[in-house]
Amino acid sequence: TWRSRRGRAAARRGRVAGMTDGWTPTRLDLSGEIRDGRHIQPVRIYYEDTDFSGIVYHANYLRFMERGRTNHLRLLGAAHRALFEEAGAEAPGFAFVVRSMQIEFLKPARMDDVLDVVTAPEEVKGASITLRQRVTCGGDTLVEGQVRVAFVSEGGARPIPKPLRDAMQADRDVIADGT
């Protein structure tokens, strides 16, 4: 059992009793991964994510998708805190803002499901990025969305920092090439 000596020892080593692959969670795992130009963020559904009928409340998908976008930026080397500190002097009061969003709810997720939030750049412009996002579970697409995010400072659109724009463009090119 979990409370057994073996279970406690496995937990101290970063493994759950009974697991044979020796997987150890790391902070990087919390940010998901970029694979084939797409960011993949796993999300487990908890009781707090569901409504009275046991399915995920629709607004929570927006939170999951925000996590996917944030961690996509983080893995591209643009952690929000560092980005805010760097850009603060160059573009005071800057922010990424959701300019527009289209979303389709296709199937429900339920408590204990493990979802993948897949984020991929679709269009990269000077001051905005359009991202295609999908929430899947076991190969089924549950939610599809398209999000346009703008970079603003001092009340107006500003160019996205070039390193970030280049990294997103590179991901988009990988997807377009099918590699």
C-beta of residue 116 within 8 angstroms of C-beta of residue 135: yes
The question of whether 21 is a catalytic residue gets the answer no
Q: What pLDDT digit, counting tens, does each position of 64-84 carry?
A: 999 999 888 888 776 556 656
Bridge partner residues of 115 (DSSP): 43
Q: Which of 21, 36, 49, 51 is labelled catalytic?
A: 51
pLDDT at residue 1 above 50? no
> Which of the residue ranges 87-91, 115-119, 158-162, 168-172 would you say has the lowest mean pLDDT?
87-91
pTM: 0.75
Q: What pLDDT digit, counting tens, does each position of 120-158 carry?
A: 999 988 889 999 999 999 999 999 999 999 988 888 888
E runs forming strands in 62-125 = 95-105, 114-124
